[in-house]
Structure 1
Amino acid sequence: MKDTRVRAYRILSALTGVAAAAAAVAVVHDTQGVAAASESCTVQVNVALPERPAQVKLRVSNGTRTAGLAERVSADFGNRGFVMQPPAKSKTKVDQVAVIEYGPKSVGAAQWIRAFFLGQAEPRFSASRTTDVVDVRVGARYRQLATQTEVNQSLAQLGEPTPPPGTCA
């Protein structure tokens, strides 16, 4: 063999060794497995839309100074077949259409209820809630619940319920 060919084999062998060492270091110091483990969810949520109103438990509270508003909205939801908890008076005033508070067991149901306010109600998720009751705090800008056709259109605009940040379905 000629000297140039021997030198070329030595250089290729050295480069192969360096490449193998670099690959070994990369595999040993890889942090992607740790990142994937830390991103795993700790809270499972139910994003399924209920099939019937009787599967949704609601509690309506009055976030305004209008007397009897919670009772009226509660009756409207009750007439549509929802399971109603006794209405209440909210200690905090709401300067919007409504606030919908819910937990992991009722993410899909809260999306459906939000459609009754044409998507204008503010959703508030709390991972620490253990009940499947959706709380609706009616605000000063509330006028009326949407019709069934409007609810269907609003659901289409809102899209499928998605798990809140830090949760998974």
Structure 2
Amino acid sequence: MTDTRVRAYRILSALAGLAAVSAVVAVVHDTQGVAVASESCSVQVNLRFPDRPAQVRLRVFNGTRTTGLAERVSQDFKNRGFAMQSPGKSKTRVDEVAVIEYGPKSVGAAQWIRAFFLGQAEPRFSASRTTDVVDVKIGTRYRQLATQTEVNQSLAQLGEPAPPPGTCA
């Protein structure tokens, strides 16, 4: 072996030793401890999409002045296989396509229902809701429910539902 090659091996060995010592010191002197979530989880939510429409319980409210709109939309959802509650009249006027109100038990289902409005319905989560019923308030900009192909495309664009702030899956 030549002197140059021996010198190179010594330098590489010294660098490897320094790297090992640095790694050990970093692990031993780590003050981070256990990682803590930045947001506390006070409510468990169900992010899972239902397997069948019959597993989703819906209640439709009319947030417009159009007579019979809630009944018509309820019938449209019923024809698609959803479990429907009696439609009603909203106490407030809705100036959007729709408002979807839901609780911790129906986060995934609400995302699915939102796809029927092509993602244009405003989602409103309430941690205090104890029921799994999803309330849909139909607004003045509503025209019709999306077709199954449009729903699938909308679901792809909306993505997986995320836990609302202060909750965890």
The bucket for the TM-score relative to the shorter chain is 0.7 to 0.9
Deviation (angstroms), 1:37: 6.9
Count of paired positions: 142
| 2:78 counterpart of 1:75 | no
User: 1:49-128 counterparts in 2 under 5 A?
Assistant: 49-128=49-128
Matching residue's letter, 2:107: V
Q: Distance in 2 between matches of 1:66 and 1:145?
A: 16
Deviation (angstroms), 1:109: 0.1
Deviation (angstroms), 1:36: 2.3
1:17-62 deviation per Cα after TM superposition (whole angstroms, max 9, x unaligned): xxxxxx99x95xx7x76x8277341100000011100000000000
TM, length-normalised to structure 1: 0.79
Matching residue's letter, 1:75: Q
Matching residue's letter, 1:105: K
SS at match of 1:136: strand
Q: Distance in 1 between matches of 2:73 and 2:103?
A: 21
Matching residue's letter, 1:51: D
Deviation (angstroms), 1:67: 0.3
Q: Distance in 2 between matches of 1:47 and 1:53?
A: 15
RMSD between aligned alpha carbons? 1.8
Q: Name stretches of at least 5 consecutive residues in structure 2 with no aligned partner.
A: 1-27
The corresponding residue for 1:160 is: 160
The corresponding residue for 1:130 is: 130
TM, length-normalised to structure 2: 0.79
Q: Distance in 1 between matches of 2:91 and 2:159?
A: 32
Q: Distance in 1 between matches of 2:132 and 2:104?
A: 8
Deviation (angstroms), 1:126: 0.3
Matching residue's letter, 1:63: G
Deviation (angstroms), 1:147: 0.2
Greater than 6 Å deviation, 4+ residue runs: none
User: 1:11-30 counterparts in 2 under 5 A?
Assistant: none
The corresponding residue for 2:143 is: 143
- Percent identity reads 81
1:119-163 deviation per Cα after TM superposition (whole angstroms, max 9, x unaligned): 000000000000000000000000000000000000000001111
SS at match of 1:36: coil
